[in-house]
Chains A and B, each alone.
Chain A
Amino acid sequence: MTDVVRAAQDAAKRIAACEAKGTHAFYTWSEAALVAQAGRLSAAAAKGPLAGEVVAVKDVIAESQFPTTCGSRILEGWRSPFEATAIRRMREAGAMVAGKTVCDEFAMGSSTEWSAYGPSRNPVDPSRVPGGSSGGSAAAVAAGAVAMALGSETGGSVRQPAAFCGIVGIKPTYGRVSRYGLVAFGSSLDQIGVFGKDVASAARLLGVISGRDDRDATTLDRIPLGEPGPAPATLKGTVIGVPREYFPAGLHAGIRAASDRALARLRDLGATVRHVSLPHTKYAVPTYYIVAPAEASSNLARYDGVRFGPRADGGLADVRAVYRATRGHGFGPEVRRRILLGTYVLSAGYYDAYYRKAQRVREAIRADFARVFAQGVHALFTPTTPTPAFKFGENTADPLAMYLSDVFVCTANLAWVPALSLPIGRDQGLPVGGQLIGAMEGESTIIRIAQALERSVEATAEVR
């Protein structure tokens, strides 16, 4: 038996154990598919940088072995006729796809509670959400089923679940990873991101999937990031900015204590910590909830029951009635809400007041980051989330409360800059994430800092 076949079988055992505990990280997976992939690996791929690695994939990324449902009834059972560039690059590097993971419907949500096929549970505390929208991928890594996974971000959907589950998540610079095969939500914000059990695992996966792709004209014309270097022993000469807007007076005490401890470790490593200001931060969530739904309302127009997915057509004779019935029944409440919100802010009479205004404020948010990084700051350190993982049902009745759980993460999507979350401690048993935000194309810098911090911070120790 080859090493990769054994790796596939071992991964299947770990996934089965993860799902037997009720985690529900996966919509679909199979040992047979894993072993078949191992058997098909080319000689070159079997010696690739990800040879024998088993990667879980968020179900908004097109992959041909398993259905791609986006967690929605409107794509129930749908199988993609092509694969995402990120998947192709993973395969060429020797990786195998474990299966498709649970997510909020069309990646709209922060808890996986808007999945049409049931949520995932947080492996650290099953009474709590794993975060979202890429919660299944985060749960699969946190449960030890896989060492790495693909997620996607439009407004923090990798970093927030990484923080809630106590693992590493990286959102690259917009354009670093091809969006070809990533089902579109908010096209000016969307980016495939990665999860890892540690910084090096996540960075290795990112290194493989990054790089220019002619099938996505917004990809950066750069060489792939490649393998991460070793963790630096010191951060002497590195300037870490601490934006005051991410540490409000009422910040959760455990989050503050964990952040303070991580900043102390960064100082111990030789970094210079400097207080900075990003004055438009408070406008990030309202800006995001205009821009993202506006783009979503356009992108999701394609789900009309004509070209793919199920159709609500029995008894209907009018094609517009088919559209309305299919979309009305096929989309869940959060997706319907965002489509209508996006349609509203783009409609005649409201476009200038909402969408144009939000685009201008977005530019101000980007300018905040550009100014700080131009002043010699190498990376920003902030908490990833305002609280640890919340309980099921806590925020589903109030959409705005759910949106505010992304207050510290959606800024990087609006500004296109890279950011990552790594575990920096536990508060009453729950993981706390620390966020490093880099300048445009600054992934290597934040990964290097995270590798150093990871070695010195007490990631699983209580903070108070």
Chain B
Amino acid sequence: MGVTRRDIEKIAALAELGVDDAAAAELERQLTRILDYVAQLGEVGDDAISPVDERATRLRRDVLDPDPLTRTPQEIAPAFQDGLFTVPRRTPAQEGTTPPMRRPQDPTPTSSPPRRTPAEEGTTPPMRGPQDPTPASSPPRRTRLGELDRGQDGP
């Protein structure tokens, strides 16, 4: 069964995934080929197969037992304010633009919660071997945390 451009647009919207035209054309071909391949499951009759026997899940007591976190939400989230994760306010006129992924350079965290290795923090790149032989594949960089483009956050 062929996957159409309309199918791609529909599932990309369901998955909240931006897909440009060139990628959509390739995905049509690739997903069609994969789905043609998996269609062979139709050869297996259902008669001889018992229903899926899911293992009983062990339940735990209804008590909160959170792992103590070594970093706060402010340090993890791209935007956090007054105890809340924040997102841009909806203004439909500005839809449809797809800027590049923000790659902030500032490695400094916004606060200083307890860490396991304080002496090792704060270098850029933070944990890289001294003789990295593969500069083309750059190591992950720290993201600036707690940052939000206030211009888009509205009043």
Binding site for B on A (CB under 8 A): 15-16, 19-22, 24, 26-33, 36, 40, 64-67, 69, 73, 75-82, 99, 115, 117-119, 175, 214-215, 217-218, 221, 280, 282-283, 286-287, 289-290, 297, 301, 304-331, 333, 336-337, 339-341, 343-344, 347, 354, 357-364, 367, 399-400, 403
Contacts and interface: CB of A to CB of B under 8 A. Distances in A.
A357 B100 CA distance: 40
B101 A20 contact: no
Contact of B133 (A22, A339, A347, A354): A22
Nearest to B91: A317
B152 A315 contact: yes
Nearest to A32: B120
B87 A306 contact: yes
Contact of B140 (A28, A320, A336): A28
Given A310-B102, A312-B101, A337-B31, A329 B18 contact: yes
Given A30-B127, A328-B19, 13 more contacts: A29-B128, A33-B120, A283-B43, A286-B40, A306-B87, A317-B94, A321-B96, A330-B101, A344-B31, A361-B44, A364-B44, A399-B33, A400-B37
A28 B128 contact: yes
Contact of B130 (A16, A73, A289, A309): A16
Contact of B137 (A36, A76, A117, A363): A117
A33 B102 contact: no
Contact of B152 (A20, A81, A290, A317): A317
B64 interface: no
B131 A19 contact: yes
17 contacts: A28-B126, A29-B128, A30-B128, A32-B119, A118-B134, A217-B60, A286-B37, A286-B40, A307-B77, A312-B101, A317-B93, A337-B31, A340-B15, A344-B35, A357-B41, A360-B44, A363-B50
Interface centre among A26, A218, A343, A399 (most CB of B within 10 A): A343
A31 to B, nearest CB: 8
Contacts of A40: 116
Nearest to A305: B78
A313 B15 contact: no
A108 to B, nearest CB: 13
B62 interface: no
A313 B152 contact: yes
A77 B140 contact: yes
> Which size bracket describes the interface of B in this complex?
35 or more
A203 to B, nearest CB: 25
B46 interface: yes
Interface string B69-81: 1111101111100
Contacts of A312: 98-102
Given A22-B133, A118-B137, A217-B58, A324 B16 contact: yes
B88 A306 contact: no
A194 B51 CA distance: 32
Interface string B8-28: 101110111111100100010
Nearest to B141: A77
Q: Which of A31, A287, A321, A347 has the most CB of B within 10 A?
A: A321
Nearest to A76: B140
A316 B141 contact: no
B15 A316 contact: no
A341 B79 CA distance: 31
B18 A327 contact: yes
Contacts of B140: 27-28, 67, 69, 75-78, 117
Contact of A325 (B52, B55, B99): B99
A29 B129 CA distance: 6
Interface in B95-131: 95-104, 107, 115-117, 119-120, 125-131
A336 B12 CA distance: 9
Contact of A308 (B15, B19, B48, B77): B77
A394 B104 CA distance: 35
B88 to A, nearest CB: 5
